[in-house]
Amino acid sequence: MRVILFYPGCYNSTAKEYNVSYLAVNLPQLGLASIAAVLEKNKHEVALFDAASDFTTSEEEWIRRILDFFPDFIGFSTITANFWNAYRICRVIKDKRDTIKTVFGGVHASWGRELLLGSFPAIDYIIAGEGEYSFLRLIRGDAPETIPGLCYRNGETCLAGPVQDKSTLCSMDDLPFPAYNLLQGFPGKYSMPLFCYPRHPGASIISSRGCVYQCSYCDRSVFKQSFRWNSPEYTCELILYLNREYGIKHIMFYDDLFTMNRNRVQTLCHLLRASGKPVSFNCIVRIGHIDSDLIQELKSAGCWMVNVGIESGDQNILDSHKSGLTVQNIRTDVELLYNSGLWVKGLFMMGFPGETEESIKKTMALAYSLPLKDANVTAFTPFPGSPIYENISNFGTFDKDWSNWQNMDCVNFVFIPSETGSKHILEKYYKEFLTGFYNRPFMRSVYRKMVFQSSHSYWRLIKNAPRFFKYAKRLKSG
């Protein structure tokens, strides 16, 4: 079979002028690359098109490229922000060549299942959950009712095969390495987040799936409550493969709970040290799951920076939305990480249900007081599949207009909590947060060090200076 795996862009035409996120970070679509590797291993011909990494290519051009490949199947990977863009392309493809079978997967499709299939007639199938082996079984012609996670039609009726569970989920070490070879322009076309890597080129890795926690805003449609990981040996071999075949010098682990399994992390660090390869890495650590010994293990193996999910500086907000986290834990662990010599990046969120101007000010005060080298501030977004979604209307106003759901990019405030009551107030504090964070005295020493410690980031910043300045001016002026 000839198969195209397609990741649509997420931004509408009015956002293009000011959007700089794709310049600040551009990571490969590893979920599709993993599916592609399984299909290739089973002798199918696969192309992987990543519209998010090619921002200037029009939808008309993507449609032409898809049709020119003459695929039997096309698989769309969708999040909420790009679903509408994906369906628009899907509908044109079906109109022009209705013999092509269209398959939707990803977090949004995993949430919507039969609901989406019944509402969008150009979609032939939906795969809810992991896609590797369900997609393989679909294209080889297995009976739809036997394929875990598959939603399909029987006449006008939308049906579903068995739900994916522990008995049907893949063994992660049995998966081939993601098909990085199908990522056009890899690794040079892709880039790590600005000032979050010491050397170039870099690559991202997902070495575990799922999360044991139940934060209110996290979409659990794909992995549910499962938590699985690659063995340290598999992960180390993947890093060495990327270094050997593509010259990768820095790895970004995109795991939600990288340090959850302590024994796995310690063994991986030992293997990386023993390899002697000069590959550094970043990872996410959860507050409350780190200590001095673990930090030293990470550092000795090449860890350069860690991301920590802080979210809010108001304990009431944390208690409602981020399980098992306290402001005091945040202060203690961030100081511990910083004093060990690691760069620390804080992840924050604004506009939670229950958010007030006072709670926002507490978050800003906490962020300014911590030795954080960088921050990522997102707008709280009630994604379908998250625990908070079903009752979100009880806590404020939520724009559910499907044609505008491409604004659900965690930058636009589509939800306004009752306590705040105004999108303008949230946007004002969002801009104030960012400008205040990067103008604080602590950042002056960071900027000086980054000239030498992340010199490639400065080159990217200078190269795209007009766009970044335009965005900064807009942010400042409001």
Q: For the segment 275-333, what is each residue's pLDDT rounded down to a tens digit?
A: 999 899 999 999 988 899 999 999 999 999 999 999 999 999 999 998 789 999 999 99
Element (H, E) at 333: helix 327-339
Inside any domain, residue 169:
no
Interior angle at CA 145, CA 38 and CA 383, nearest 5: 70
In a domain, 168, yes or no: no
Instruction: Examine residue 201 and say whether the peptide bond preceding it is cis (omega within 30 degrees of 0).
Output: yes
Residue 391 CB coordination number (10 Å): 10
Regarding whether 156 and 200 lie in a shared domain, the answer is: no
pLDDT in tens, 95-137: 999 999 999 999 999 999 999 999 999 999 999 999 999 999 9
Residues 333 and 406 in one domain: yes
d(Cα 342, Cα 336) in Å, to the nearest integer? 9
Residue 76's CB is within 10 A of a number of other CB atoms, namely 27
Averaged pLDDT for residues 443-459: 86
pLDDT at 405: 58
CATH code: domain of residue 241: 3.80.30.20
Q: Which of 161, 277, 156, 169 is nearest to 229 (CA)?
A: 169
Instruction: Tell me if 180 is assigned to some domain.
Output: no
Within a domain: residue 181? no
Please tell me the total count of domains within the chain: 2
Q: Are 333 and 291 in contact (CB under 8 A)?
A: no
Q: Is residue 179 part of a domain?
A: no
Answer with the one of 143, 160, 177 that is the final residue of a domain. Answer: 160
129 and 237 both lie in a single domain: no
Q: Counting beta carbons within 10 angstroms of the beta carbon of residue 364, is it exposed (0 to 12), middle (13 to 18) or buried (19 or more)?
A: buried
pLDDT at 13 over 80: no
Task: Give the domain CATH number at 6.
Answer: 3.40.50.280
Q: For 161-201, where are the E strands, in sequence order? A: none
Mean pLDDT on 141-166: 93
Asked if residue 303 belongs to a domain, the reply is yes
Residue 352 inside a domain? The answer is yes
Contacts of 188-192 spanning 24+ positions with Cβ under 8 A: 189/26, 189/53, 190/26, 190/27, 190/28, 190/53, 191/25, 191/26, 191/460, 192/25, 192/27, 192/250, 192/252, 192/282
Helix, strand, or coil here: 369? helix
- Whether residues 231 and 355 fall in one domain: yes
- Rounded to the nearest integer, the mean pLDDT of the chain is 90
251 shares its domain with 368: yes
Q: Indicate if 201 and 298 belong to the same structural domain.
A: yes
185 belongs to a structural domain = no
Residue 428: which domain range? 192-477
